[in-house]
Chains A and B, each alone.
Chain A
Amino acid sequence: MRFRKPSLEDKKRYIGFYIESEERLGRKEVLNELWSTGLSFLGEAEMAETGFWVHDCFDDQLIVEVRDGYVDEILAVVSLVNEIKNERVRLDLLGVAGTIRKLKKSFILNQEK
């Protein structure tokens, strides 16, 4: 089996979010809402292009993986999310980084919330 060279792989960006809500939300609910908002706002083709993938969702934090150059599109989608399962919610941007390690080190572990 032949692997693709690392230089040919798409560059990725990891975006960290803080989930601000009155009640704790499940991973599945957050994921469903993000996908449905993304599909309705950007459409199937552009959503595929962005390479959107929820990498991790723990406690009140969310790490999303996107293809480099599509960060703004995903931020626009995320800013449109304001309700999940009749629960008011806001996703605050923590930071954007090229690796998960850097994202966690710079933004997630240092945040004072």
Chain B
Amino acid sequence: MDHNKRYEICFSKEKDLGEFLKEAKGLNYSSFVFFEINDVLDIGEIETDFRVFKGIEIHKKDIGDIKSDISTYRSKVDYLAVKARDNRVKEVLSKDKRVDCLVDCFGRRNDFDYVVAENCKRNDVAIEFNFGKLLRCSGYERSMLVRKFHRSLKLVRKYGSPLILTMKPSTVFDLRGFREFFSLIKSIGFSKEDLIYSNNYFKRLIERNCEFDKDEFVEPGIEKV
């Protein structure tokens, strides 16, 4: 993956994904993950130069429901993220290797703590930093969000947890070019290394998940010949 090209995780609000991808052409993207909440999206066949993957975001409160959804959907998608606002949920999910990413970790009261950060590093679960939220708020709310980003970034850097940086666009107007996105994250305190690390991590994650879907795959390092 070119360092000046990045991935994007999109919420599939847009009906015509082909149009969406056409619009994204000049903005230095390499791959897209389209996801649906609590459901698997049928992407169909799209003619595009981008690599397109399908994902799911699980939004449930009960840990049992989340676990059963993970078992159901893991083999059907390339990217599985779980909304983890509750501290208990966060702690349990950060130990689950089937989860690719924890979404919405920075709630109003509950913070992202060192236990979760350490578990995430150990089990290869990424933490999502959604910069698209900055577009949808202003003033006090935006300032609090930036503060949460700062505090969480400190922990992520200290424990070396994987991170995913995204704008999470739902329409073409939420997409941002590489340079604009980099300037935005830089102004908040993220570095170019964070962005490159995030890009490389995402590439590795998707490749690993695609490998798991193959019929020949038995276990990491073992496959049928």
- Chain A residues with CB under 8 Å of chain B are 20-21, 40-41, 71-73, 75-76, 78-80, 82, 88-90, 92-93
Write the chain A residue with the least CB distance to B132.
A82
B90-113 Cβ-contact flags toward A at 8 Å (1 or 0): 000000000000000000000000
The 6 closest A-B pairs by CB, nearest first: A75-B183, A76-B187, A79-B180, A88-B173, A72-B183, A76-B183
Contacts of B134 in A (CB 8 A): 80
Distance (whole angstroms) from the CB of B200 to the closest CB of chain A: 22
- Report how many residues on chain B are interfacial, defined by Cβ distance under 8 Å: 22
**Residue contact B173 to A82, C-beta cutoff 8 Å:** yes
Let me know if B191 is at the binding interface, CB within 8 A. no
Total A-B pairs in contact (CB under 8 Å)? 51
Known: A90-B173, A90-B175. A78 touches B187 (CB 8 A): no
**Residue contact B187 to A72, C-beta cutoff 8 Å:** yes
**Residue contact B184 to A79, C-beta cutoff 8 Å:** yes
- In-complex Cβ contact of B179 among A20, A90, A93 (8 A): A93
24 pairs, CB–CB < 8 Å, chain A vs chain B: A20-B172, A20-B173, A40-B138, A71-B183, A72-B182, A72-B187, A73-B183, A75-B179, A75-B184, A76-B184, A76-B186, A76-B187, A79-B180, A79-B181, A80-B135, A82-B135, A82-B174, A88-B173, A90-B173, A92-B26, A92-B177, A92-B180, A93-B177, A93-B179
Which B177-211 residues have a C-beta within 8 angstroms of A? 177, 179-184, 186-187
**Residue contact B172 to A79, C-beta cutoff 8 Å:** no
Contacts of A89 in B (CB 8 A): 173
